[in-house]
Amino acid sequence: MTLLAPIFLFGLLAIGLPIWLHRVSSDNPNRQLFSSSMFLEPGEPQRVLAKQLQYLLLLALRIGVLVLLALAFAGLVLQRTGVTAEGESSAFHLIVLDTSLSMSHGRRWDRALAEARAIIDGLGATDFVQLASAGRTTQTIAESSSDKGSIIRALGVVEPGLFRIDYGELMDSVDSLLRGVELPAVLHIITDAQEISLPVRFADLAPRIPLELQIYNVATLDDQNWSVDGMLYLPEAGELTVRVRGFNTEPVEKHLILRLNSQQIARQQIVIEPNELVRATFRNLDLAVGSNRVSVGFEVRDELEIDDQRFLVLDRPVPLPVLLVGNNPQRHDMLFLESALETLDQRSFRVERARPLSIRDRDLNLYAFVVITDVGSLGPDETDLLADYMETGGSVLMALDQGATGLERVPLGGQMLQTFSQLGEITGPGYAVVGAMDRSHPGLQSIDELRSAKFFRYVNVAPQPSDQVLIRLDNGSPLLVESDLGRGRLLLFTSSLDREWNDLPVQPVFVPFIAGLGSYLSGNIGLINEARLGSSLTSGTLGIQGGQIFDPRGDRVLGIGGTGDEVLVDQVGFYEVVSGGATQLIAINLDPAESNLTVIDSTTLGGWRDLGSGAEEQRVISGTEKIDAQPVGLWPWIVTMLLIIVLIESWVGNYYLNVRRGVSV
């Protein structure tokens, strides 16, 4: 036992107070003169002895109250040790099994289970053990127990997953798993010691609490692996490029199998050099209209089969009609726009040309969006038709060309236009370039190198308060402005879409620029065809309402009415999203870094193990060594005894006083 605040023991000096009071009260103050006591009969010895015992009991109780008060304030605690009655020391063992993807390679998992069983079999009869797994997260598999049989049975439900492990995050999780443990802790990590799992800072591997650290490496130096690292599809050329890697390997020949919508359509032989990246190209893919399932894998799998195949979704959308409106259908701006739109996403847009007057005879609601090459070509009737089209949700891309010089306001948008004399007022080198661009806008996220274009003429416009300026020139003048009209949207380009006022159409960025704006105007922004393993899918991110999501096994993981619910992507393959009679496919692939089986070098691994030496003084050195455990406070027991003694003292005190007063009890 020990005391946390021994200075309060000075309170024991108060014991002198009840002793002095009892000494004083033992004399009877009521004395009467009496001639002689020789003729009185002597008192009964038993009655005198009873009164003396009552007196001593009351004194002892009052002294006990003061002693317990002093001990309660002094903080009396019990200092326990980890030594058992037989002299054997107890310890708490936390066994963590690495369940990352790479543990599926060959016989690594069998060796890991064998290591875990050997650790459990070697524990003492009084040791406690807890089992945990570490992959995407660290989870407890079996709670702390001294029953070795139950822990060994729990090993049967653990298996490797599909995720990576981060050793730094693992060491962070250990702190919470060992919180409240009073015995000396021993952490056993059974892993394949992948180098890619190391944190950026070596210090993140240090335990946060004192413990003994043991690391068991179940990998072997001759472990080899090959993987399909990635795929890239070029729609313009119709080519699919596949990347293949080999890790810790000798030169080997592999056969790649290409499947389109579950049917094998091509086979190609490649040679993979040691630790090198190889590319294979498949040409002339005949995609069906809609979403296509594409997978590429090895004909003969290796010891880590799960990374021998990769998945990709390729869309061949139904071409959407787009209307180009201009006074001269043979102008360069019409040709540039039509060429750009029809080379995107396997001709996802079908372009129709029209003069301004002819739009009166067309149903504009049939078009994904409308492009006006010169705002000055619109008459009042055409403007009204476009306004009605936008009110119902239509989208318009409008350029300011030579015809805008006689206008004061932009039709539809209503922005004020500056005078013709300000066209081309460029300071500096004689042209303007893009100065600022809102890259967060959905239509501009994939645009690069737009600053290479030179703008020789443009129209200064005054945006309205509700407008959003998406692109500005380097002199601050707006180049692309977005306005809302009803349910529709208007994109106003303040220069021309041909080479008369700028050289943008002959820049490589022109096609992706028109592609981004076209996808945004047609409402195709936001659809995804690939998601990361371990991420979450929601109906909001997929743009569906009341749809259903099916995993690669065909099980429904999000049903109708599941708006707002999250689906954890924990399988590789194709997820299906069904909504409104249409099906959208999402490809899920492994993290390619997990295929790299390179092992941590022995120096680094030894340095990590040594970080657990902070518990050296608390470890079991021999069977007779005592180990201090967490002290246990005795104040609850002391307070309880104090209350009991106070009640007894009160009862005994009343009884004693009644006897002294001669009251019959």
Q: pLDDT tens digit string along 311-345?
A: 999 887 777 889 999 877 666 677 788 877 766 54
CA distance to 44, 305, 382, 449, 509, per residue, from 495 (Å): 127, 55, 21, 18, 16
Which parts of the chain register pLDDT below 50?
Answer: 81-87, 345-347, 421, 426, 526, 562-563, 615-629, 661, 663-665
User: Which pLDDT value is given to residue 166?
Assistant: 93
539: nearest Cα among 570, 572, 561: 561
Q: Is 126 exposed, middle or buried (0-12, 13-18, 19+ CB in 10 A)?
A: middle
User: Which pLDDT value is given to residue 167?
Assistant: 95
* 446: Cα separation from own chain's centroid: 25
* 78: Cα separation from own chain's centroid: 44
Rounded Cα distance, 258 and 254, in Å: 13
User: Which pLDDT value is given to residue 622?
Assistant: 34
Helix, strand, coil distribution of the chain in percent, nearest 5: 30, 30, 40
Same fold? 226-302, 320-522: no
Secondary-structure class of domain 320-522 per CATH:
alpha beta
In eight-state DSSP terms, residue 628 is B
Identity of the residue numbered 419: T
User: Which pLDDT value is given to residue 84?
Assistant: 45
Rounded Cα distance, 129 and 147, in Å: 8
> Whose structure tokens read 């029809």?
342
* 437: Cα separation from own chain's centroid: 30
What is the CATH topology of the domain spanning 226-302?
Answer: Immunoglobulin-like (2.60.40)
Q: What is the CATH number of domain 92-222+601-618?
A: 3.40.50.410
618: nearest Cα among 62, 35, 157, 90: 90
Task: Quote the tokens at residue 603.
Answer: 């120096």
The residues near 184 (Cβ < 8 Å, ≥ 6 apart) are 82, 89, 91, 92, 211, 212, 615, 618, 619, 620, 627
CB 1 within 8 A of CB 52: no
Which residues share a beta bridge with 81? 628
Rounded Cα distance, 546 and 559, in Å: 8
Residue boundaries of the structural domains of the chain: 1-17+46-79+631-665, 92-222+601-618, 226-302, 320-522, 534-589
User: Which pLDDT value is given to residue 340?
Assistant: 78
Rounded Cα distance, 502 and 431, in Å: 9
The pLDDT tens digits for 394-449 are 999 999 888 887 788 888 888 888 765 455 554 556 788 998 898 888 888 767 67
Rounded Cα distance, 397 and 497, in Å: 11
Rounded Cα distance, 128 and 119, in Å: 12
* pTM confidence score: 0.57
Strands of 248-287, DSSP E: 252-260, 263-272, 277-282
3-state secondary structure of 515: helix
